[in-house]
């Protein structure tokens, strides 16, 4: 029998050991793979909306800056910030001392004018009778008649002056023009109120709207009455509003267009809140999968794709907008592929999937 050379013997042993190692790895992989029961869906193309977003602010449609028409010191402040008021409720009072002096002066002026009118009327009656009897010349009668007319005009002017002074007196007390909430107080008792200088801010929370600015491209797709989606940072769900006004003139600084959106009653949004406005401006084709199919493994967003043999493979994907329990897949998944939608928390790449149900998305 021919002896085997040492070099040849080492080569044979190396091949034998290599074959055993590969066999052991396959056995270990087979032993580590699990069989998991899960729902599987087939990915299909679907029509998706083209969404344009813009930041917006919630404001009260009815709001007013309350200022005094008189110059004077604030004597009383009857409200505070955050207080609800009704229409006609007293808000604050300006010291009316100066106006009271004007009213007194106007009353005195009216008394003098009425006394002069009474005297002129008496002369008018007496000289009128004399003129009828041709006891006085026409020139004298014309002079008396003119004096009576002047007295009438002066009395009328005095009455108007008193009315104006009395009206000014009414302006010393400021009342709410409508029901609402005091949102800001810019002056206190003792401060000087002046025409055109706001003292209080009042707004009606019963009618709120959102204002936002959009580009000309987005503005071209909008029309009055369109529904839009609104999301606030602390709101649990989106709110649907309706476009109430489109302002066709662009802002010369930002070159954007103002859009006003009415909010429904009970929206839960408050004046001054920041919201994200979503406009549907078209449609496109894309793919979506159920939210339950999307996972995060070690910071990688992906889904389990099930191949023809029923083996699961974790694949990284890029996701888009999520709505109605579905998530758009922008990259990483093609129509016709199958993905697992249940039991994914325990799945590992290489596991065998036993379909508990099938469907399409």
- Tokens 């199958």 correspond to 338
CATH classification of 96-170, choosing from 1.10.287.470, 3.30.300.30, 4.10.110.10, 3.40.50.300? Answer: 1.10.287.470
Full-model pTM: 0.58
Residues 191 and 358: their CA atoms lie apart, in Å, by 75
67-95+172-206 and 32-48+285-360 share a CATH fold: no
Local structure of residue 293 (DSSP, 8 states): G
All structural domains of the chain with their residue ranges: 32-48+285-360, 52-61+207-284, 67-95+172-206, 96-170
pLDDT over 50 (residue 217) = yes
Other beta carbons less than 10 A from residue 92's beta carbon: 24
For residue range 270-284, list pLDDT tens digits in order.
Answer: 888 899 999 988 888
For residue range 165-193, list pLDDT tens digits in order.
Answer: 777 778 888 999 999 999 999 999 999 99
Summary mean pLDDT of the chain: 84
Structure tokens at 65: 């800056």
Q: What is the arrangement of strands in the sheet containing 192-193, beginning at the earlier edge strand?
A: 173-175, 90-94, 72-77, 192-193
pLDDT of amino acid 360: 53
Confidence of residue 285 (pLDDT cuts 50, 70, 90): confident
pLDDT of amino acid 50: 85
pLDDT of amino acid 247: 94
Looking at 172-186, 198-212, 239-253, 330-344, which range is the least confident one? Answer: 330-344
Residues 348 and 361: their CA atoms lie apart, in Å, by 23
Fold for domain 67-95+172-206? OB fold (Dihydrolipoamide Acetyltransferase, E2P) (2.40.50)
CATH classification of 32-48+285-360, choosing from 2.60.40.650, 2.40.420.20, 3.40.50.300, 3.40.30.10? Answer: 2.40.420.20
pLDDT over 90 (residue 57) = yes
Residues 52 and 145: their CA atoms lie apart, in Å, by 80
**Region for 324 from its dihedrals, namely left if φ exceeds 0, alpha if ψ lies in -120 to 50, beta otherwise:** left
pLDDT over 70, % of the chain: 88
pLDDT of amino acid 15: 37
pLDDT of amino acid 21: 39
CATH hierarchy code of domain 52-61+207-284: 2.40.30.170
pLDDT of amino acid 1: 40
């Amino acid at each position: 029998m021919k002896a085997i050379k040492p070099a040849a013997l080492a080569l044979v042993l190396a091949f034998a050991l290599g074959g055993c190692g590969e066999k052991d790895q396959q056995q270990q992989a087979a032993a580590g793979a699990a069989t998991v029961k899960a729902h599987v869906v087939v990915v299909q193309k679907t029509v998706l909306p083209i969404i344009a977003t813009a930041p917006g602010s919630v404001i009260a449609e009815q709001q007013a800056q309350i200022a005094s028409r008189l110059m004077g010191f604030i004597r009383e402040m009857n409200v505070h910030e955050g207080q609800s008021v009704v229409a006609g409720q007293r808000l604050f009072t300006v010291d009316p001392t100066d106006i009271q002096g004007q009213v007194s002066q106007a009353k005195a002026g009216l008394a003098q004018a009425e006394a002069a009118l009474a005297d002129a009327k008496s002369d008018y009656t007496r000289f009128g009778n004399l003129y009828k009897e041709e006891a006085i010349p026409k020139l004298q009668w014309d002079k008396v008649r003119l004096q009576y007319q002047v007295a009438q005009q002066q009395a009328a002017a005095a009455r108007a002056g008193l009315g104006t002074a009395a009206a000014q007196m009414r302006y010393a007390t400021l009342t709410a023009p409508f029901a609402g909430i005091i949102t800001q107080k810019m002056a206190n008792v003792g401060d000087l109120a002046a025409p055109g200088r706001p003292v209080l801010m009042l707004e009606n929370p019963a009618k709120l709207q959102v204002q936002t600015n959009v580009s000309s491209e987005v503005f071209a797709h909008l029309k009055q009455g369109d529904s839009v989606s609104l999301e606030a940072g602390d709101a649990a769900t989106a709110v649907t509003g309706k476009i109430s006004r489109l302002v066709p003139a662009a802002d010369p600084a930002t070159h954007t267009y103002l859009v006003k959106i009415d909010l429904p009653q009970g929206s839960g949004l408050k004046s001054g809140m920041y919201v994200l406005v979503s406009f549907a401006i078209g449609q496109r084709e894309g793919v979506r999968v159920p939210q339950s199919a999307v996972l995060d493994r070690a910071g990688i967003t992906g889904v389990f794709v099930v191949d023809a043999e029923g083996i699961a493979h974790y694949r990284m994907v890029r996701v888009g907008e999520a709505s109605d329990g579905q998530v758009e897949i922008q990259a990483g998944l093609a129509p016709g592929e199958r993905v697992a939608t249940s039991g994914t928390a325990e799945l590992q790449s290489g596991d065998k999937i036993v379909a508990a149900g099938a469907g399409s998305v």
